[in-house]
Each structure stands twice: as C-alpha cells, then as structure tokens.
Amino acid sequence: MKEFKFDTLVIGGGSAGMAAALEVSKRGFSVAVAERENSMGGILNQCIHNGFGLHHFKEELSGPAYAEKFIDMVETSNIEVFIDMTVMDIEEAGDLKYVYGLSRITGMIKFSVKTVVFANGCRERNRGSIGTPGTRPSGVFTAGLAQRLVNMEGYIPGKECVIVGSGDIGLIMARRMTWIGAEVKAVIEIQPYPAGLTRNIVQCLNDFDIPLYLSHVVGDIHGKDRVESIDVIPMENGIQQKDKSFNIKCDSLLLAVGLVPDNELAQKIGISISPETNGPIVDRQLMTAKNGIFACGNVLHVHDLVDFVTEESERCGNYVADYLDKKTPSDQFRTLPGKNVKYIVPNFYSPSEENKFYLRTMIVKNRAELIASVNGKEIFNKVLKHIQPSEMISFDIPKDSVHISDCTENTLEVRIV
C-alpha cells in the first residue's frame, strides 16, 4: 500500500473541494484532492445550462465552464489530485489522520494528513425515500441521473415524461427534455408553492407551457415492463383527495424530490450530524467536533447557487490554514434556528469576530424581518424583500455586535417574522 503525506486532504473535487484546496495551497500548505469520478468538476460537468458564476465571476457561465475555471487554477497550483478514488475510512492518531483511499488506478493509498476537508457534495433522494406506491417498471429515474444520461451519455430517458418535484434540477430537466423532443406532461409538487428559483419557474415551465400542479402527489405508478401512466392526487390541508385523482399517460417519471448531504463517511467516523441539515455540525470555522476535520459545500448543507458553495468553501480553506498555523480560535457559543427558520449554519458563533450565516426559511412571505438575538436581546435585524424555502438566505453579523453576558449559554437565536 502506497503512503503519502500532506498537510490537508480534501475529499471531493467539485466546486467546494477545489475552492477549499486552492485557499489552503495559497497559504503555503501541501494539499491533495481525492475525487471519485474520472475528472474534477463534480455535478457541474453535467449542468450544461447557463446561470452559473454571476456572483463569483461576475459573468454568466455554464456548469462545465464554471468548473473549468477552477480546474485550470488547480492544475497550475501545487495541489496533487487523485481521481477515480473513493475514500473508504479515516483513522485518528493524535494530531494526525490516516485516510484510506481506494482507486483502480493506484490501488489502496494511505494518506497521512493533519487536516481533512469533507467537500463530497450531496446525493439525490429516490423513490424509496418518498414511498411512492405502484409497480416497479423501468422508466423511473432521479432527475440528476436523467440529466447525466442526456447531457453526458447521449441517451434519451423517455418520450413522454412527468417530473415529480419542482426543485431547480426538476425544472431544468423539464426544459431540457422539451429541447430534446420529449413531451413533458406535467410537473407535480406536493407543496403549495414551487420549490425552485423563480427564474427557473419562468424560464423552464412558463416559457414552454408546461403545467405545474401544486399541492399534488403521485398516488400510483402503473406499468409492467415500462411506466405506462401515473395517478395524480390533489392535496387539501395536507390530506389526499383520492376522489379527485386523475391519470396521466407517460413512459418516464423523473424524481426531483430533494438532495441529501453525502454524510455516510462522516457518520462512520463518529461526526455529529445535524437533524435539520443532515450535514455535519460545525463551529464558526466550519470545523466538526473532531479537531482538524472540516466540512463545506453541499455535504454541509444543500445550497441553491454554486457561487455560494464557492464562497463558503474558500472561507473553509482559510480556516483550515488558520488551524495549520495554530491560530487560537475565539470563544464560541451555539446558534439555533428560531421561528420560521428551518436551519442556520454554522452551528456556533464568536462574539469577537465577524460571523457569516446561511439559513433557509420555512415560509413564503414578502417584506419579512430577520431578527437575531442573544439571551433574548436583539442584536441584529434585516428586512428581506421576499423569502421562500427554495432560496437560501445569507447575512453577516459584524464583529463586536454581540456583548456577551455572564450567562453560560449566550445562545444566538435567529427568527423570521
């Protein structure tokens, strides 16, 4: 078994992994990236539509073009990349971590590192996750798999499609399937409001007259060898109205029913997982409860824009470098989601530092107010023009905004009213 020594190993070579690795490398530390696919770029490689990079690069790019900018920077740096590699396990030995990666190219490799960054993204929920009843014919795909088949493999998943879930990938695939000549019969959404960005509702559904059924669910899948049709049931006050169900004939069902952080390895080594995000619990510096092990990007919490993934991951890379420089972190206290807030990340804050947070709301509202308080005392507020669960909210609380008391808790709570 070959052995390598680095200051940092980044797990995942997508936008998060590359951004974090570059920042650590810029600070003079040795970095390796382990990527399980045969090239870097992650999910961006199959996202051939535009709309990426408006925040970070100030220009509109396709997914592969966005990835290429970072790949070029990685290739001209001192970062060593291991592709086709799956990280199998991590062992802790004092200040060192032994990471075991398996690749058909190199076989088993043992990395001896001081820090590890989880940047391995998220995975799709599938039919089993939502318990859709019916037969088990071919023609049922996750939206991401369908996207890969169309954009990278050159296959057409079906000719008459129904999409379940109005998240961004579902909306984008509705447009993509239309472009390749398929008929998209409908998009079905269980919630009373769309789950994707407003621009995608307009550009991917409205522009192509694709019907969107809000507060509806798939009641049954019919078909023996291939999907033949589905039953659709309206929802009223959370209750299925089966007497109002209707049938849609189709040969394919694309499931865009949410993403889940890919946290199996983190759980395996005992990292605490947040029940709100399904990603690791992290402090202000994006470090888990295990010293020297960090997390960023979609493995931490599912973002809506890759630009925000990049921004968070660059900060993570600098926090990793600070840790390697043995900079002493400031005192930290817990953050908690309050009224109408699904989650807030990071899970800790430092009163003596500037703190950047990301959160998702549970409501749709115009002119909402975001309020942060410590021990019941308001320390920050911000008026938000429009909020909805599909759009992530970020905000900064300036340095020294919080004057902590003698209270041992000093919990920061954020609510939306």
What is the per-residue pLDDT for 407? 61
DSSP 56-123: TTSS-EEHHHHHHHHHHHHHTSS-EEE-SEEEEEEEEETTEEEEEEEETTTEEEEEEEEEEEE---EE
Q: What is the pTM of this model?
A: 0.92
Question: Quick one: what percent of the chain has pLDDT higher than 90?
Answer: 85
Check for a shared fold between 2-123+260-329 and 126-257.
Answer: yes
Q: In whole angstroms, give the CA distance from residue 137 to residue 139.
A: 6
Do 44 and 66 touch, CB atoms closer than 8 A?
yes
Q: Using alpha carbons only, give the angle 339, 345, 350 rounded to the nearest 5 degrees.
A: 100
What is the per-residue pLDDT for 128? 85
Q: In whole angstroms, give the CA distance from residue 372 to residue 385.
A: 17
Model confidence at 406, pLDDT cuts 50, 70, 90, reads low
Average of per-residue pLDDT values in the chain: 94
pLDDT in tens, 61-73: 999 999 999 999 9
Q: Would you say residue 34 has pLDDT above 70?
A: yes
CA dihedral sign, ordered 313, 314, 315, 319:
positive
What is the per-residue pLDDT for 171? 95
Q: Which residue has the tokens 């239309």?
A: 178
Domain ranges of the chain: 2-123+260-329, 126-257, 334-416
pLDDT in tens, 72-88: 999 999 999 999 999 99
Q: In whole angstroms, give the CA distance from residue 346 to residue 312.
A: 10
Do 258 and 294 touch, CB atoms closer than 8 A?
no
Fold of 126-257: FAD/NAD(P)-binding domain (3.50.50)
What is the per-residue pLDDT for 31? 98
pLDDT in tens, 184-224: 999 999 999 888 888 899 999 999 999 999 999 999 999 99
CB atoms within 10 A of CB 290: 17
pLDDT in tens, 348-361: 999 889 999 999 99
Q: In whole angstroms, give the CA distance from residue 413 to residue 167.
A: 28
- Residue 45 has what DSSP assignment? G
pLDDT in tens, 285-316: 999 999 999 999 999 999 988 999 999 999 99
Q: In whole angstroms, give the CA distance from residue 272 to residue 287.
A: 11
Q: Which residue has the tokens 């499609």?
A: 161
Name the CATH superfamily, with its identifier, for domain 2-123+260-329: FAD/NAD(P)-binding domain (3.50.50.60)
Amino acid at 378: E
Q: Would you say residue 400 has pLDDT above 80?
A: no
Q: Please state which CATH number belongs to domain 334-416.
A: 2.60.40
pLDDT in tens, 245-292: 999 999 999 999 989 999 999 999 999 999 999 999 999 999 999 999
Q: Would you say residue 403 has pLDDT above 80?
A: no
- Per DSSP, which regions of 266-340 are E strands? 293-295, 333-337
Q: Return the half-sphere exposure (C-beta side, CA atoms, 13 A cut-off) of residue 68.
A: 8
Question: Quick one: what percent of the chain has pLDDT higher than 70?
Answer: 99
DSSP 167-223: SHHHHHHHHHHHHTT-EEEEEEESSSS-SS-HHHIIIIIGGGT--EEETEEEEEEE-
b (16+ CB within 10 A) / e for 254-287: bbbbbbbbbbebbeebebeebebbbbbbbbbbbb
Q: Which has the closest alpha carbon to 146: 255, 275, 294?
A: 255
CB atoms within 10 A of CB 236: 9
Q: Which residue has the tokens 């003596």?
A: 352
310's tokens: 């990049």
234's tokens: 């309206």
- Residue 152 has what DSSP assignment? I
Q: Which residues, including other chains, have CB under 8 Å from residue 31's CB and lie 6 or more apart?
A: 6, 7, 8, 9, 10, 21, 24, 25, 78, 79, 80
> Residue 318, Cα to own-chain centre: how many angstroms?
20
